[in-house]
Chain A
Amino acid sequence: MINFSEIKKSLLVSLWFMFLTFPIMVIRVNTIENIVEWRWRNMVFIGVGSFLLSPVWRYLMKRKEYGLKKAEEGKEMQVSFARRILQERKFYIPGLIAAGLFSLAFPLTFSLYQTNIMVSALIFVMLGLGLNIVVGLAGLLDLGYVAFYAVGAYTYALLNYHFHLSFWIALPIGGAMGTLFGVLLGFPVLRLRGDYLAIVTLGFGEIIRLILENWNEFSFGPSGISNISRPSFFGMDLSVHGSMIFIYYIMIVLCIFTIFIVNRLQDSRIGRAWIALREDEVACQAMGIDKTKTKLTAFALGATWAGMGGVMFAAKTTFVNPASFTIWESIIVLCIVVLGGMGSVLGVIIGALILILLPEYLRAFSEYRMLVFGIVLVVMMIFRPGGIVSDVRRTYKFEGAGGKGGDE
């Protein structure tokens, strides 16, 4: 099976990779002793590695193209693994129970550090689910989502600082502030779509951050607000460890709540209108859907979750400053939605867990951490451009002439 041209291709690939990685992998300038180190061994590793991996890569690409061709010819597409799991009760019920037990036992079995990063991941699950309404369902590319996250966090921080409001009161207020800002941003961008919308929302995100950074009297500038109180447990203050576990459970409940609400919205008249808006704006209007109202609800409801996520963030870190709300956070949340699969709730959850936990666990590889992260993203987009759970949008199925319709 091994023929000459395949070996030649692999050889060329490995030469190319050795050339590409030469500056970063081989040369190192030792600034202390003022000498240049030549690490030729790295070059050998890369050469051999890419030589061995390139046939695998080509095989995968070939398989992918074959799959595409089959789909084009209209042959029955293989039901994907994810879909099968979601459809068959005997798979997903035990799966759900296992996931539930695992998430309940998690903070009791793992260390504080593990719980801490899991809480971060859960906050991003919530953000992802919120942005999924805007980007995945309504098809409005929002690059300034972090603004609502910041609004939520600062709402709690400021209310707590000035009025000593507790977490439990601030949580709904944070959500409401998110909604309000969602509507505020929604109005000017109603006429925009696609790239233009992305740019304006990007600007909005930056405006909020710059205001927080520069309006010292209001937000205490770059130094931020510290000593925000943690959520109390029926009036009791908990230890640092105890309160982190408590926050973890609050997050689990909030995530389940979010999933529930988002699912309900998705399978409703409003959810259908969002999807129609994404599919064809003109036809959507011509079919009697109020474009203005539909876009505003999408923005507002998406922003609500970011607002609540922000409150959770402030409660978890007990400290907020503008540096936590950069464009990078927006991009990560967007990546979560795209990587997970637009419009898919399960996809977003998996996407958030991967994107937030992966960099944490890759800390062992310290300097190559972001490199691996990038590679994962690129590979994902090549082999599953629709996201991890791409083909699982629940559709309305009509079952029998008797008229029992509904989602599967």
Chain B
Amino acid sequence: MNRTAQPILEVNGLGMNFGGLRALDSVDLDVGKEEIVALIGPNGAGKTTFFNCITGLYTPTDGDIIILPPGKKRERINGVKPNLVTRRGLSRTFQNIRLFPNMTVLENVMIGRHCRTTTGIAGAIFRGRSTRREEKEIVDYSYTILENIGLEKSVNEFAKNLPYGEQRRLEIARALATEPFLLLLDEPAAGMNPQETEELDELIRKIRDEQEISILLIEHDMKLVMSLSDRIFVVDYGKKIAQGTPDEIKSNPVVIKAYLGEEIDA
């Protein structure tokens, strides 16, 4: 992938303290336009904390998170509330699936449309023409996304009744409904069987190619990471220890040490 000069997400020296614990220590990361970037690292390295900082669930202690949405101005989004981060075009999924279990598949995706629609209390009560049109648009848009993701068959099922792999995909569908320019996936392949992982690989590529969305993902499945990502960042104990293309990372001794615990003698 050709990287444009300006990254759409730029993280400089991000640090996060929980009391005395330094969960993240000056982590740098950048994502280019239409790029798939992976963030890997051993368990407890601070990957999800990193995601939570970017999406506004945590306010980072120091550092800068700067976004450049297409066609808009550069903006620093440290400490912006999660819903406003989503509005600005960063959308995420969760490591342990967080769907709305008692809502249908369609309704789950419709929630994603919330930040792109405007009907207020008065509109809801009087249900005028514009409200009805907006509702129809929400339903149609959501259904189109479900078709793209391949979940249209279970559109009226409750989210809790979906098989595990489909729940993961539904989370992606819901995130896409917010019209993001950057999609953050937190371990999308966790708990999937090899076939489902392969389908996920295709899906993520499809999202990138067809919708021109950049992707930042946390993942433990190395096969998926190596085949999918353009660049990889590695963190350990809250610090970035390496970055580069999949091939560079594969042969990087520091990364191997972090994963296996000791250096391999050649």
Q: Determine the distance from Cα of A393 to Cα of B103 in the docked complex, in whole angstroms.
A: 10
Q: Determine the distance from Cα of A268 to Cα of B110 in the docked complex, in whole angstroms.
A: 11
Q: Determine the distance from Cα of A301 to Cα of B124 in the docked complex, in whole angstroms.
A: 13
Does A60 sit within 8 A of B, measured CB to CB?
A: no
Nearest-neighbor residue (CB-CB) of A260 within chain B? B125
- Give B126 Cβ to nearest chain A Cβ, in Å: 8
Q: Which residues of chain B are near A37, meaning CB under 8 Å? A: none
Does A286 sit within 8 A of B, measured CB to CB?
A: yes
Q: 1/0 contact trace for B93-137 toward A, CB 8 Å? A: 010001111111011001110111101110111010001001110
Does A287 sit within 8 A of B, measured CB to CB?
A: yes
Q: Is the CB of A269 within 8 A of B114?
A: yes
Name A residues whose Cβ lies closer than 8 Å to a Cβ of B: 261, 264-265, 268-273, 275-276, 279-280, 282-291, 297, 301, 393, 395-398, 401, 403, 405-406
Q: Is the CB of A288 within 8 A of B115?
A: yes
Q: Is the CB of B121 within 8 A of A395?
A: no
Does B140 sit within 8 A of A, measured CB to CB?
A: yes
- What range describes how many residues of B lie at the interface? 35 or more
Q: 1/0 contact trace for B77-96 toward A, CB 8 Å? A: 00001110011000110100
Q: Which residues of chain A are near B119, meaning CB under 8 Å? A: 268-270
Q: Determine the distance from Cα of A393 to Cα of B197 in the docked complex, in whole angstroms.
A: 35
- Give A171 Cβ to nearest chain B Cβ, in Å: 17
Q: Is the CB of A269 within 8 A of B124?
A: yes
Q: Determine the distance from Cα of A339 to Cα of B263 in the docked complex, in whole angstroms.
A: 64
Does B143 sit within 8 A of A, measured CB to CB?
A: yes
Known: A282-B94, A398-B106. 20 other contacts (CB 8 A): A264-B125, A268-B124, A268-B131, A269-B124, A272-B114, A276-B103, A276-B111, A282-B98, A286-B82, A287-B112, A288-B112, A288-B114, A288-B115, A301-B121, A397-B106, A397-B156, A398-B156, A403-B143, A405-B106, A405-B136
Q: Is the CB of B136 within 8 A of A403?
A: yes
The residue among A393, A405, A406 with the most chain B CB atoms within 10 A of its own CB is A405
Q: Which residues of chain A are near B121, meaning CB under 8 Å? A: 265, 270, 297, 301
Across the interface, B110 reaches (CB within 8 A) one of A261, A272, A283, namely A272
Q: Which residues of chain A are near B131, meaning CB under 8 Å? A: 268
Q: Is the CB of A261 within 8 A of B125?
A: yes
Across the interface, B155 reaches (CB within 8 A) one of A282, A301, A398, namely A398
Does B174 sit within 8 A of A, measured CB to CB?
A: yes
Across the interface, B102 reaches (CB within 8 A) one of A271, A279, A282, A290, namely A279
A289-B114, A398-B106 are known contacts. Are A270 and B120 too (CB-CB below 8 A)?
yes
Q: Which residues of chain A are near B87, meaning CB under 8 Å? A: 288
Q: Please classify the interface of chain A as helix (H, G, I), strand (E, B), loop, or mixed, using the class held by over half of its residues.
A: helix
Q: Please classify the interface of chain B as helix (H, G, I), strand (E, B), loop, or mixed, using the class held by over half of its residues.
A: helix
Q: Determine the distance from Cα of A287 to Cα of B110 in the docked complex, in whole angstroms.
A: 10
Q: Is the CB of B127 within 8 A of A264?
A: yes
Q: Is the CB of A280 within 8 A of B114?
A: no
Does B178 sit within 8 A of A, measured CB to CB?
A: yes
Q: Which residues of chain B are near A397, meaning CB under 8 Å? A: 104, 106, 156
Q: Is the CB of A279 within 8 A of B114?
A: no
Q: Determine the distance from Cα of A275 to Cα of B123 in the docked complex, in whole angstroms.
A: 18
The residue among B111, B112, B116, B135 with the most chain A CB atoms within 10 A of its own CB is B111
Q: Which residues of chain A are near B107, meaning CB under 8 Å? A: 272, 275, 395-396
Q: Determine the distance from Cα of A344 to Cα of B144 in the docked complex, in whole angstroms.
A: 30
A261-B125, A286-B55 are known contacts. Are A403 and B115 too (CB-CB below 8 A)?
no
Across the interface, B83 reaches (CB within 8 A) one of A272, A288, A301, A401, namely A288
- Give B170 Cβ to nearest chain A Cβ, in Å: 12
Q: Is the CB of B139 within 8 A of A287?
A: no
Q: Determine the distance from Cα of A265 to Cα of B112 in the docked complex, in whole angstroms.
A: 18
Nearest-neighbor residue (CB-CB) of A407 within chain B? B135
Q: Is the CB of B115 within 8 A of A396?
A: no
Q: Which residues of chain A are near B114, meaning CB under 8 Å? A: 269, 272-273, 276, 287-289
Q: Which residues of chain B are near A297, meaning CB under 8 Å? A: 121
Q: Is the CB of A270 within 8 A of B111?
A: no
Q: Is the CB of B115 within 8 A of A289?
A: yes
Q: Is the CB of A290 within 8 A of B100?
A: no
Does B190 sit within 8 A of A, measured CB to CB?
A: no
Q: Which residues of chain A are near B91, meaning CB under 8 Å? A: 286-288
Does B57 sit within 8 A of A, measured CB to CB?
A: yes
The 6 A-B residue pairs with the shortest CB-CB distance, nearest first, are: A288-B115, A405-B139, A268-B124, A279-B100, A288-B86, A283-B98
Q: Is the CB of A272 within 8 A of B156?
A: no
Q: Which residues of chain A are near B125, meaning CB under 8 Å? A: 261, 264-265
Q: Which residues of chain A are near B104, meaning CB under 8 Å? A: 395-397
Q: Determine the distance from Cα of A230 to Cα of B36 in the docked complex, in whole angstroms.
A: 70
- Give B98 Cβ to nearest chain A Cβ, in Å: 4
Q: Is the CB of B99 within 8 A of A405?
A: no
Q: Determine the distance from Cα of A279 to Cα of B99 in the docked complex, in whole angstroms.
A: 8
